[in-house]
């Protein structure tokens, strides 16, 4: 049965159902329970873990502000029979525990010749738009996708958020799970029963015929808005693809689309230099070059940190109008000519 949930609720439901199903699953992070060590009410969690401690009191742990220790502990617990879901809160904080991700979680299995595995999930908020400034608004998933041994997932819709979280928890490798903070209260249909969205599968969110737009996270919604505008104006019929998983990447769905449309615009909120958009463009240039009718267009923020002042921040990430302009600037023929 499908009903409407928010992105935040969908993630919470995945956590709840997996805690129910598998006693090895447990959650840890700052304020995951909330109220530990305080005199007021326990359970003031600030994210999707709200209310879970009542049903699973032994399996949700509040941590001190000790990311190096508790992310490292998640690695150690995962390697010794448990399946932790650790909350890093903001991906911007990965700096304080980067060794645990880069050199421990990602590499343990390889360095011991396959005799250990690290079935853990690291959840974190990402993305600009909440006026949190440069240290609380970053994307950073390209840096993690760059590391062999990690998997990286970036859902754009509530149903994908639930399915990918379920899949991430059941996955036997370390998965970085990115939750866009501006999408937390977006709503959409979400099936009630437990289900997985397989990692490494892209989604054609809007089928189309004469331009492929690959977009990630909040940019998927911007791309859809641009596609609707272009369609309404009779100017282009765009296919919008959401990779959903950054690593492993579903290159085939993307290349297949470009082989059909001949045009590619990539829209990403992550930084441009050595970024995810560049990765998509290079994959297509390598595998579908002869099908391209024009150069690949990439839209990303400029090479700047995220500003605070609302007007400046709103000018930071690509917008639907910029996407529309990028599609139109490349078209040599309108869709229905």
Partner 1 sequence: MTAISASTDSRTAELLAAYRTMVTIRRFEERVHQDFADVPLPGAVHLYAGQEAIAAAVCGRLAADDYLASTHRGHGHAIAKGCDVTAMMLEIHGKAGGLCGGKGGSMHIADFDRGMLGANGVAAAGAPLACGAALSAKLRRSGQVAVAFVGDGGANQGAFAESMQLAAVWQLPCIFVIEDNGYAQSTGSRFHLRERQVAARAEALGIGADIVDGYDYFAIEAAAEAAVQRARNGGPSLIECRALRFFGHMEGWDSQDYRPPGEVDRLRSEQDCIELFRRRVTADGQVRPEDLAAIDVEVAAEVGAAAQHARQAEFPQPGELLTDVYVSY
Rounded least distance, CB 208 to partner 1, Å: 30
Q: How far is the CB of 130 from partner 1 (least distance, A)?
A: 28
CB of 167 to partner 1, least distance (A): 11
Cβ contact 169:18 at 8 Å: yes
* Closest distance to partner 1 from the beta carbon of 187 (Å): 33
212: β partners: 239, 264
Catalytic residue among 136, 146, 291, 303: 136
Return all residues near 115 (Cβ < 8 A) that are at least 6 apart.
Answer: none
Residue in 116, 283, 285, 325 binding partner 1, rule: CB under 8 A: 116
Instruction: At 191, give phi and psi (nearest 5°).
Output: -60, 145
Rg (CA), the chain: 20
The residue (of 82 and 130) whose beta carbon lies closer to partner 1 is 82
Return the bridge partners of 124, or none.
Answer: 178
In the window 75-114, what residues touch partner 1 (CB under 8 A)?
75-82, 84, 99-100, 103-104, 108-114
Judged by CB under 8 A, how many residues of this single chain contact partner 1? Answer: 47
Select 63 or 324, whichever has its Cβ closest to partner 1: 63
Using DSSP bridges, classify how beta strands 203-206 and 211-215 pair: parallel, antiparallel or unpaired. unpaired
Interacting span for partner 1 (CB under 8 A) from 6-14, 169-177, 262-270, 317-325: 169-177
Shortest spacing between CB 245 and partner 1, in angstroms: 11
State the binding string over 131-160 for partner 1 (x if CB under 8 A, else -): -----------------xx-x---------
Per-residue string for binding with partner 1, 174-213, x by CB under 8 A? --------------------------x-------------
End-to-end Cα separation, the chain, in angstroms: 43
Would you call 21 helix, strand, or coil by DSSP? helix
Residue number with CB closer to partner 1 (111 or 233): 111
For residue 239, the SS3 value is: strand
Binding mask 49-68 for partner 1 (x = CB under 8 A): ---------xx-x-xx-xxx
CB count within 10 Å of CB 50 equals 18
Residues in region 231-250 near partner 1 by CB under 8 A: 248
Torsion angle (degrees, nearest 10) of CA 24, 25, 28, 32: -140
d(CA 152, CA 292): 28
Three-class secondary structure of residue 191 per DSSP: strand
Q: Which is nearer to partner 1, 78 or 215 (CB)?
A: 78
Task: Report the nearest approach of partner 1 to the CB of residue 75 (Å).
Answer: 6
Instruction: Tell me if the bond preceding 248 is cis, omega within 30° of 0.
Output: yes
Strand order in the sheet with 83-90: 60-62, 25-29, 83-90, 121-126, 175-180, 151-153, 245-247
How buried is 115 (Cβ within 10 angstroms: 0-12 exposed, 13-18 middle, 19+ buried)?
A: exposed
Contact between 103 and 147 (Cβ < 8 Å): no
* Shortest reach from residue 177's CB to partner 1, in Å: 16
Place of tokens 């990430």: 317
Q: Which of 10, 15, 60, 71 binds partner 1 (CB under 8 A)?
A: 71
Select 114 or 311, whichever has its Cβ closest to partner 1. 114
Q: Is 136 a catalytic residue?
A: yes
Quick note: the x/- pattern for partner 1 over 260-299, rule CB under 8 A, is: ----------------------------------------
Catalog residues that contact partner 1 under the rule CB under 8 A: 26, 58-59, 61, 63-64, 66-82, 84, 99-100, 103-104, 108-117, 119, 148-149, 151, 171-173, 200, 248
Please list the active-site residues. Answer: 136
């Amino acid at each position: 049965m499908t009903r409407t949930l928010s992105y935040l609720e969908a993630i919470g439901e995945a956590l709840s159902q997996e805690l129910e199903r598998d006693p090895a699953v447990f959650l840890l992070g700052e304020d995951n329970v909330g109220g530990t060590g305080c005199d007021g009410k326990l359970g003031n969690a600030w994210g999707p873990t709200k209310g879970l401690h009542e049903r699973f009191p032994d399996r949700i742990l509040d941590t001190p502000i000790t990311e190096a220790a508790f992310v490292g502990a998640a690695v150690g617990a995962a390697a010794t029979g448990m399946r932790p879901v650790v909350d890093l809160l903001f991906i911007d904080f990965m700096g304080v525990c980067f060794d645990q991700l880069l050199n421990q979680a990602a590499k343990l299995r390889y360095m011991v010749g396959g005799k250990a595995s690290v079935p853990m999930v690291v959840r974190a908020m990402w993305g600009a738009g909440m006026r949190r400034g440069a240290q609380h608004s970053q994307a950073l998933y390209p840096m993690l996708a760059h590391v062999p041994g990690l998997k990286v997932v970036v859902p754009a819709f509530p149903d994908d958020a639930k399915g990918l979280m379920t899949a991430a928890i059941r996955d036997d490798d370390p998965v970085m799970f990115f939750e866009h903070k501006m999408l937390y209260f977006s709503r959409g249909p979400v099936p009630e029963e437990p289900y997985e969205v397989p990692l490494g599968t892209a989604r054609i969110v809007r089928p189309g015929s004469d331009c492929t737009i690959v977009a990630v996270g909040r940019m998927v919604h911007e791309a859809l808005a641009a596609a609707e505008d272009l369609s309404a104006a009779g100017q282009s019929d765009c296919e919008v693809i959401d990779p959903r998983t950054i690593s492993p990447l579903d290159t085939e769905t993307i290349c297949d689309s470009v082989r059909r449309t001949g045009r590619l615009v990539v829209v990403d909120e992550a930084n441009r230099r050595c970024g995810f958009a560049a990765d998509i463009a290079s994959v297509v240039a390598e595998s579908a070059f002869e099908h391209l009718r024009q150069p690949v267009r990439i839209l990303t923020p400029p090479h700047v940190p995220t500003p605070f002042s609302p007007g400046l921040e709103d000018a930071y990430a690509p917008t639907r109008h910029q996407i529309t302009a990028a599609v139109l600037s490349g078209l040599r023929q309108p869709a229905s000519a």
